[in-house]
Amino acid sequence: MATTITIQDIADYEGQEVTLKGWLYLNTGKGKLQFLRLRDGTGIVQCVAFRPEIGDETFEALKRLGQESSLILTGTVRKDERAPGLPGGYEVGIKQVEVVQDAVDYPIGPKEHGVEFLMDNRHLWLRSSLQWAIMRVRATIKRAIIDFLDSSSFLNIDTPIITPAAAEGTSTLFEVDYFDEKAYLAQTGQLYNEANIMAFGKVYCFGPTFRAEKSKTRRHLAEFWMVEPEMAFFDLDDLMAFEEEFVSYIVQTTLRTRRAELELLGRDLTFLENVKPPFPRISYDEAVERLQAIRETTDDPELKELLQIEWGADFGSPHETELTKLFDRPVFVYGYPTQVKAFYMEPWPGRPEVCKSVDLLAPEGYGEIIGGSERMSNLDVLVEAINRHELPLQNYQWYIDLRRYGTVPHSGFGLGLERTVAWICGLAHIREASPYPRTLNRMWP
Ligand code: 4AD
Ligand code: MG
């Protein structure tokens, strides 16, 4: 009896007879040889049928098998440097094939397809090797995030998805009918995290987050995953120092454990290799000056137009893209104008028009992957900010309580999982970083 194995372990079975269970990814032939590229979810391996060995009848049957036919295949593992696949370097000499189902007319072939067609068939497209590689990188990034925080004495504590109040501005709220009361899908778990740190010190939540974004950009999803660490007795400098360690760990772990997938994706790894502390830090003021300098020196009239910026305005994608091009690793931009940020950010000492916020922008034009800040710790300052933002004070009483009973300086941030996956994988659009993306014009399949 041959041992049933998964393709990822194939190197351990050289010279042995094994059974593989999977799907036919590619079926090609040449003369007396038929090449069945088999995938099983853990890898891809080339399996070779030799006509004189398996007989004419079986050989002809194999030749006719359609892409994505499900198979149980037995054969001998051979080392062959040239063999394609993942991990690659091994092939299987076929002895026997049991066809579980012969699939006919699988709609996604090796030829080019439009992205809308592929998105309509997302439930099938996930089987394609590039999509498969992205999801494996995504899983590794999630694991790295959790490992880093768990081993840094953070408590993972969940925050509600159904929430009664806004936290990140009222324009991106998804409304829910909560037994005839108005409620919203969570834009962030932060406000609850702030309560949780006063009980547990350092906490994080990691889960789905919702924004009714009316924008059709390469960076926005309506549903995405965000990890949000929050720390008591932490100021803005502590926050940046922590974020650079965190992001470097995520990138270096992914590079180490998913190099084959990143290479399959054609990712240029040089920028990723650079992701090590310290990251450059520039103030919003300096960022505006740099953008204005780029505008003054560029010969490109379109860029000049796109990069228009006055002090006080928020950055758009073009601004972030140009700023990241100035550095070889992620860059912190801190001290944004109070008016473009959420209500809860600590004012800059002596400069109330600026807040203790910091965004981390990923290189190569990827832009913001982290938004964070030091939070207001003073009760009166917070109440004034809630009123200034015209938010209903009664909804925030529990949050204000945190400034009544043992308030401390504290800080936290949110890292968007899909933006991080898109950056690390080098994707042109965030939608491929999510298994089933929700965007302005799509919630199927
Ligand atoms: O900057 P944001 O809005 O910050 C917060 O929500 C804070 N409450 C987080 C905190 O301090 N605990 O979002 C944080 C990150 C962004 O940097 C981005 O990576 C991601 O969440 N993000 C999105 N990702 C995909 N699609 C969207 N529509 C996103 N909006 C934010
Ligand atoms: Mg932000």
DSSP string of 251-302, one letter each residue: HHHHHHHSHHHHHHTT---HHHHT--SPPPEEEHHHHHHHHHHHHHH---HH
Cα 118 from chain centroid (whole Å): 20
Q: Are residues 91 and 140 in the same domain?
A: no
d(CA 279, CA 246): 12
> In this structure, is residue 445 part of a structural domain?
no
Q: Are residues 134 and 97 in the same domain?
A: no
Q: Are residues 305 and 377 in the same domain?
A: yes
Residues within 5 Å of ion ligand 2, judged at the Cβ atom: 371
Q: How many CB atoms within 10 Å of residue 123?
A: 11
pLDDT at 342: 95
pLDDT at 217: 87
Residue 111 clears pLDDT 90, i.e. is over it: no
> In this structure, is residue 61 part of a structural domain?
yes
Going by CA atoms, what residue is nearest to atom 22 of ligand 1? 416
List pLDDT tens digits, range 318-357: 999 999 999 999 999 999 999 999 999 999 999 999 999 9
Report the nearest atom of ligand 1 relative to the CA of 226. Answer: 21
Cα radius of gyration (the chain): 26
d(CA 425, CA 261): 9
Tell me the best of 320, 419, 423, 442 to mutate to test the pocket of ligand 1, counting ligand atoms within 8 Å of each CB and taking the most.
Answer: 419
CA distances from 145 to 98, 142, 371, 437 (A): 41, 5, 16, 21
Residue 167 clears pLDDT 90, i.e. is over it: no
Long-range contact pairs involving 389-394 (C-beta distance under 8 Å, separation at least 24): 389/343, 391/165, 391/166, 391/343, 392/165
List pLDDT tens digits, range 399-442: 999 999 999 999 999 999 999 999 999 999 999 999 999 999 99
Q: Are residues 66 and 209 in the same domain?
A: no
Q: Are residues 159 and 264 in the same domain?
A: yes
Contact 264, 445 (CB under 8 A): no
Last residue of a domain, one of 68, 101, 134: 101
Look at 169-178, 221-230, 245-254, 278-287 and tell me which has the smallest mean pLDDT: 169-178
Report the nearest atom of ligand 1 relative to the CA of 419. Answer: 19
pLDDT at 171: 85
Domain that holds residue 81: 3-101
Residue 215 clears pLDDT 90, i.e. is over it: no
Contact 415, 226 (CB under 8 A): yes
Last residue of a domain, one of 72, 101, 130: 101
Last residue of a domain, one of 101, 133, 166: 101
> In this structure, is residue 441 part of a structural domain?
no
Q: Are residues 291 and 250 in the same domain?
A: yes
- CATH number of the domain within which 32 lies: 2.40.50.140
Helix (H) or strand (E) segment spanning residue 377 = none
d(CA 35, CA 394): 68
pLDDT at 165: 85
Contact 294, 322 (CB under 8 A): yes
d(CA 397, CA 161): 19
Q: Are residues 129 and 198 in the same domain?
A: yes
> In this structure, is residue 424 part of a structural domain?
yes
CA distances from 44 to 3, 34, 127, 285 (A): 18, 16, 11, 51
pLDDT at 355: 98
> In this structure, is residue 107 part of a structural domain?
no
Instruction: Please give the single-letter amino acid code of residue 46.
Output: Q
> How many domains does one find in the chain?
2
Look at 66-70, 132-136, 362-366 and tell me which has the smallest mean pLDDT: 362-366
pLDDT-above-70 percentage for the chain = 100
> In this structure, is residue 442 part of a structural domain?
no
Report the nearest atom of ligand 1 relative to the CA of 221. Answer: 26
Residues 89-113, mean pLDDT to the nearest whole number: 95
- CATH number of the domain within which 295 lies: 3.30.930.10
Q: Where are the extended beta strands (E) located within 262-409?
A: 281-283, 331-334, 347-348, 351-355, 357-362, 367-374
Q: Are residues 97 and 206 in the same domain?
A: no
Q: 368 C-alpha vs ligand 1 centroid, how far in Å? A: 9
Q: Are residues 133 and 91 in the same domain?
A: no
Q: Are residues 126 and 96 in the same domain?
A: no
Are β-strands 351-355 and 347-348 bridged in parallel, bridged antiparallel, or unpaired? antiparallel
> In this structure, is residue 286 part of a structural domain?
yes
Can you read off the two tokens belonging to residue 366?
């990827």
pLDDT at 214: 87
d(CA 422, CA 429): 7
Cβ(370) to ligand 1 under 6 A? yes
Q: Are residues 225 and 318 in the same domain?
A: yes
Cβ(413) to ligand 1 under 6 A? yes
Residue 213 clears pLDDT 90, i.e. is over it: no
Q: 276 C-alpha vs ligand 2 centroid, how far in Å? A: 22
Residue 379 clears pLDDT 90, i.e. is over it: yes
Residues 6-19, mean pLDDT to the nearest whole number: 97
Tell me the best of 145, 206, 211, 226 to mutate to test the pocket of ligand 1, counting ligand atoms within 8 Å of each CB and taking the most.
Answer: 226
Are β-strands 70-79 and 155-156 bridged in parallel, bridged antiparallel, or unpaired? unpaired
Contact 354, 284 (CB under 8 A): yes
Average pLDDT, the chain: 96
0.75 exceeded by pTM: yes
> In this structure, is residue 108 part of a structural domain?
no
Are β-strands 357-362 and 367-374 bridged in parallel, bridged antiparallel, or unpaired? antiparallel
Q: Are residues 90 and 131 in the same domain?
A: no
